[in-house]
Amino acid sequence: MRIRHLIAILVAPWLLTAALANPFEMTLKNGLRVIVKEDRRAPTAAQMVWYRIGSMDEVDGASGVAHVLEHMMFKGTPSVGPGEFNKLVAAAGGRDNAFTSRDYTAYFQQVPNEKLAEMMRLEADRMRHLNVDAKEFAQEIKVVMEERRMRTDDNPQSRLFEQMNAVAFQAHPYRRPIIGWMSDLENMSAADAKAWYDTWYVPNNAYVVIVGDVDHREVFALAEKYYGALEGRALPARKPQVEPAQDGTRRVNVKAPAELPVLIMGYKAPILRDVDKDSDPYALQMLAAILDGHDAARFNKKLVREDKVALSVGIDYDATARGPGMIYLHGSPSEGKTVADLETALRAEVARIQKEGVSEPELKRARAQLVAAEVYKLDSMFGQAMEIGQAESAGIPHQKIDRMLEKLQQVTAAEVQAVAKKYFTDDTLTIGVLEPQPLDGKARRPSVAIRH
Amino acid sequence: MKMTMKKLLTAVVALLAAHSAMAGVKIEHWVSPTGARVYFVESRVLPMLDVQVDFAAGSMFDPAGKSGTAALTRSTLDLGAGTRDETAIAEQLADIGATLGGGADTDRASIAVRTLAAPEKRNAAIDILRNVLQAPRFDPAIVEREKARTVAGLKEALTRPDAIAGKAFWSALYPAHPYGRQATPESVAALARDELAAHYARYYTAANASITLVGDISRAEAEKIAESLVAGLPAGAAATLPAPPVIAPGNTVKLAHPASQAHVLIGLPAIERGNPDFFPLLVGNYTLGGGGFVSRLMKEVRDKRGYAYSVYSYFSPLRQTGPFQIGLQTKRSQAQDAIKVTRDVLAGFLKEGPSTEELAAAKANLTGSFPLRLDSNKKILDNVAVIGFYGLPLDWLDRYQEKVQAVTVDAVKQAFSRRVRPADLITVTVAAD
């Protein structure tokens, strides 16, 4: 049984080695950008529409509205009735869904390539013509509350992660959960969702990514036809909401029905802003690969296999984002060990890199994995569309994705050691601990008692 | 980056895992000199190769009282083999950018490697796979460590309402069949290293293996690789199946839990792999609860009433009679209302079947989405491995669309009346008021 990845992360957007001209890009007069990557291996296509609007753009009291609006986007326009969007995609032999992150909201369809035009027509329609019906909203908000119960309220690890972010960030909106606080959901109205839509769903706040067995010229013509008529509008100013420097360790404990304690140690970390000039984010990615990139990487080898202090352990770091970054170390202690033992062990692994650095074989191994992953990634058209979309969402031009990979390959042992010293400091650390509680109220075995 | 998906489709997709072949996907099949069945799809588009070896060695073959044997055998298989210790295996794989995957379910134990196709990389990856298949060590210290981790994971699962519901559901559906026996902390803690070795020796044999290869190699190379993987295994004999499951009388199992949401599962043992009822059930279930956002259950339970984020139904055909399952989660105080709506939807569907419009919509989606089922090497591998493991006809994918098209409203109603009898339905609730 593997219980390694506590925090769901998406693979860092590295790859892409197609011919120079591919992907192709154009911008419509209304400001909508269209990025097309031709991939002829199978007669299918993926369309993704990305809006530069996520939970970080919400304000207090309205947390979760970005995600609620995402749900409402399936509830109809003057020309497409409630639920019809899904029906039309299904009739086309397609699959569709959507997701909301801190940074963006994205919608997608995967279809046989001859159905792409219809999907573009449908997405263009709901980009500016959504009905936010009060009756539909009243049902859908209940669905979202059920979603919150399922994903967060009844999931101890999600609750811990939610609480940690609420403590690690104070000024920056990353402190709020994407799904929203329950009280905010209970008090949200259709008018709130409508205002969100009217403010942010405009072509100049979006980009379309299409990957598949298509001709980019034809797709550009279709984009002009369907999206071209939509009017752009000036967007409100977005305030920076810079997170002040953290000056001391913060701790948060969460009690929930569970068996295993969980420890998360989150350090403030840099985010890639300039692909060519920045270096620390690449070095941190390489450090993460050396600590946790395969089954015999340092964390698993030492803490799970040799010392048996942890049942599972991992590291998560996203180098790209609109907001500030964190690097998370996380794990569950073995029976007979405590979270304090695990914390000591994790700190020792970081200290080992700070003192002794990393070896050339370790770096070489991580690079070999990167090169292979670059090929494997091409096995999924959807994965390629995700990669382009995510880079762009963080302000990284998709043309720079290859360059990011090159830079990652060039990371040296000295750079890895330097970032280990620079960023793993107690002053920017937030520690989260899940304290398991018995389901039936009876005391549990003493060996897992928590020391905090 | 944390994300919230609008909908969970993973469970629903389980049924769909075994479909389709795009025009041009050609499955070559042969039996290796040592008796393993081999399935090969040449794909030259990307310089990579996937190889998966499946054995009839899943949890249905766990000895009585030894639940967890199959899973632990598989999870320790690649933790030391021949002269390689677990670190050497992991490091050598990483050095060439290869990955080793797989696992054990009720029927199958699988081990799969993904590698770059360049000969020096490919040969090194296949050599590790061969080593792991033919000479696993089952080092006692490692077995003890993995037992402890498995036990901890099982204990954790027993605190989770979804896992509790799933375990209770399978126990209730299969009271006298191995499908209903689940690993427990106690059963795993009692397993001995030699019991894993014995499970390996009995079931990881050439006659009990199917091998699937997809990627950038020739037929001749595929033959060589396949034979090298099984040449060192004993010929063995195909696994002997237990007596088929007997349908238990309908029942309700209600379990207490402090969660805010109730987890509800409704179902019964329904169909095995290769049964001709598969297509009418597949097409019919699309309308009932398999068609994602457009299913009746989704409309009634989620869209109209806001009772649940996820509600679905699917058939999961296995080697022996696999389950039909409806699932949902809802606020605990409204669980009984949600169950009533769900049962009403099911009863209406069993009585009337799909409308002609619904049937047409189901067929349009199931046939129209055909190319999406095979547009990557990974998807081709998954599909072909299922065909190989369950011995489905080689033209199964080629005829998939035609079989879907042939389904009628009457065929759906008849297949459902044979397979889903309301009196036999088992309902499991966890945390329902």
Would the CB atoms of A439 and B257 count as touching at under 8 Å? yes
**In which region does residue A83 sit, left (phi positive, over 0), alpha (psi from -120 to 50) or beta (all else)?**
left
Sign of CA dihedral A306, A310, A311, A317: negative
pLDDT over 50 (residue B292): yes
Chain B residue with the nearest C-alpha to that of A300: B87
pLDDT tops 80 at residue B257: yes
Tell me the nearest-neighbour CA distance from B132 into chain A, angstroms: 15
The closest CB to that of A375, out of B116, B159, B304, belongs to B116
* CA separation for the pair A62, B82 (Å, rounded): 60
CB contact under 8 A, A101 and B330: no
- Dig out the tokens for B429 from the structure: 């609730």
Q: What is the pLDDT along chain A (452 residues), one digit of tens a residue?
A: 233 333 333 332 333 333 457 999 999 999 999 999 999 999 999 999 999 999 999 999 999 999 999 999 999 999 999 999 999 999 999 999 999 999 999 999 999 999 999 999 999 999 999 999 999 999 999 999 999 999 999 999 999 999 999 999 999 999 999 999 999 999 999 999 999 999 999 999 999 999 999 999 999 999 999 999 999 999 999 999 999 999 999 999 999 999 999 999 999 999 999 999 999 999 999 999 999 999 999 999 999 999 999 999 999 999 999 999 999 999 999 999 999 999 999 999 999 999 999 999 999 999 999 999 999 999 999 999 999 999 999 999 999 999 999 999 999 999 999 999 999 999 999 999 999 999 987 655 443 333 44
- B72/chain A closest Cα distance in angstroms: 8
Q: What is the pLDDT of residue A443?
A: 54
B-chain residues within 8 Å CB-CB of A331?
none
CA-based nearest distance B249→chain A, Å: 30
How far B139 CA sits from the closest chain A CA (Å)? Answer: 13
Tell me how many residue pairs between chain A and chain B have CB atoms under 8 A apart: 235
Of B86, B305, B376, the CB nearest to A305: B86
Phi, psi of A298 (to 5 degrees): -55, -50
Neighbours of A186 (CB within 10 A): 10
Query: Which amino acids of A are annotated catalytic?
Result: 70
Query: Which residue is closest to A142 within chain B, CA to CA?
Result: B306
The whole-angstrom distance between A376's CA and the closest CA on chain B is 7
B140 touches A: beta carbon within 8 Å: no
Check A83 against B156: CB less than 8 A apart: no
The two structure tokens encoding residue B357: 């419009």
Give the global pTM: 0.93
CA dist A8 to A3, A11, A230, A317, A398, Å?
12, 10, 36, 11, 23
Q: Report the residue count for chain B.
A: 433
Predicted local distance difference test score (pLDDT) of residue B21: 33
pLDDT value of position A21: 77
For residue B127, pLDDT over 80 is answered with: yes
B314 bridge partner residues:
B325
Using CB atoms, pick whichever of A161, A295, A335 lies closest to residue B148.
A335
Q: B186 near B327, Cβ under 8 Å?
A: no
A98–B1 C-beta distance less than 8 A: no
How far is C-alpha A144 from the chain's CA centre?
Answer: 19
For residue B410, which amino acid is it?
A: D
Taking the Cβ of residue A8 and every Cβ of chain B, the question of whether any pair is shorter than 8 Å is answered with yes
- Which residues in chain B are contacts of A379 at CB distance < 8 A? 46, 48, 376-378
Inform me whether the C-beta atom of residue B363 falls under 8 Å from chain A C-beta atoms.
Answer: no
Structure ipTM: 0.92
| Residues A167, A170, A171: CA angle, nearest 5 degrees | 160
- What confidence tens digit (pLDDT) does each residue in B35-63 have? 999 999 999 999 999 999 999 999 999 99
Q: B369 vs A318: CB contact, 8 Å cut-off?
A: no
pLDDT in tens, B195-204: 999 999 999 9
* Cα A261 from Cα A274, distance rounded (Å): 39
> How close B425 comes to chain A (CA, Å)?
25
Write the CA distances from A244 to A164, A167, A170, integer angstroms: 17, 13, 8
Q: Does B163 touch chain A (CB under 8 A)?
A: no
pLDDT band of B4, cuts 50, 70, 90: very low
Cβ-based neighbours of B324, under 8 Å, separated by 6 or more: B267, B268, B269, B270, B271, B281, B313, B314, B315, B316, B419, B420
How far is the alpha carbon of B263 from chain A, nearest alpha carbon, in Å? 10
* Residue B184, CA distances (Å) to A332, B152, B177, B188 in order: 20, 10, 16, 6
Nearest-by-CA chain B residue for A70: B6
**Burial classification of residue B212, based on how many CB atoms lie within 10 Å of its CB (0-12 exposed, 13-18 middle, 19 or more buried):** buried
Contact A259 B372 (CB under 8 A): no
Q: Which residues does chain B have within 8 Å of residue A321's beta carbon, measured at their own beta carbons?
A: 1
- Do B262 and A43 touch, CB atoms closer than 8 A? no
Rounded Cα distance, A62 and A56, in Å = 11
Question: For A99, which of B4, B150, B260 is closest by C-beta distance?
Answer: B4
The region of weakest confidence among A74-83, B7-16, B138-147, B251-260 is B7-16
What is the distance between the alpha carbons of residues A65 and A59, in angstroms, rounded to a whole number? 9
In chain B, residues with a C-beta closer than 8 Å to the C-beta of A41 are 45-46, 375
Tell me how far apart the alpha carbons of residues A427 and A443 are, in angstroms, rounded to a whole number. Answer: 35
Task: Work out the average pLDDT over B397-419.
Answer: 97
Cis peptide preceding B354, ω within 30 of 0: no
B310 to chain A: closest CA residue: A147
Other CB atoms within 10 Å distance of the CB of residue A215: 13
8 Å CB contact between B219 and B385: no
Is B433 an interface residue toward A (CB < 8 Å)?
A: no
Tokens at A386, concatenated: 């995700």
pLDDT at B17: 33
Which DSSP category does A143 fall into?
H
Residues A39/A48, Cβ–Cβ less than 8 Å: no
B44 shares contact with chain A (CB less than 8 Å): no
**E strand or H helix at A439:** none
Kindly report the backbone phi and psi dihedral angles of residue B345, in degrees, each rounded to the nearest multiple of 5, phi listed first.
Answer: -60, -45
CA dihedral B217, B221, B222, B223 (to 10 degrees): 160
Which residues between 167 and 226 in chain B have a beta carbon less than 8 angstroms from any beta carbon of chain A?
none
- Binned at pLDDT 50, 70 and 90, residue B208 comes out as very high
- The amino acid sitting at A156 is P
**Sole residue written with tokens 């948060």:** A252
Report the SS3 class of residue B115: strand
Chain A residue numbers with beta carbons less than 8 Å from the beta carbon of B45 are 41
User: Helices A339-356 and A413-423, interaxial angle, to 10°?
Assistant: 130
Contact B258, A439 (CB under 8 A): yes
- The two structure tokens encoding residue B180: 């209903």
Q: Which chain B residues are closer than 8 Å to A304 by Cβ?
A: 149
Q: Which of B22, B91, B153 lies closest to A42 in CB terms?
A: B22
* Exposure string over B383-416, b if 16+ CB within 10 A, otherwise e: bbbbbbbbebebebbbebbebbeebebebbbebb
- Of the candidates A97, A100, A139, the beta carbon closest to that of B304 is on A139
Helix (H, G, I), strand (E, B) or coil at B104: strand
Please judge whether B7 and A87 are an interchain contact, meaning their C-beta atoms are less than 8 angstroms apart.
Answer: no
Dist. CA B121–CA B143, nearest whole Å: 30
Residues 385-444 of A with CB under 8 A from B: 390, 436, 439
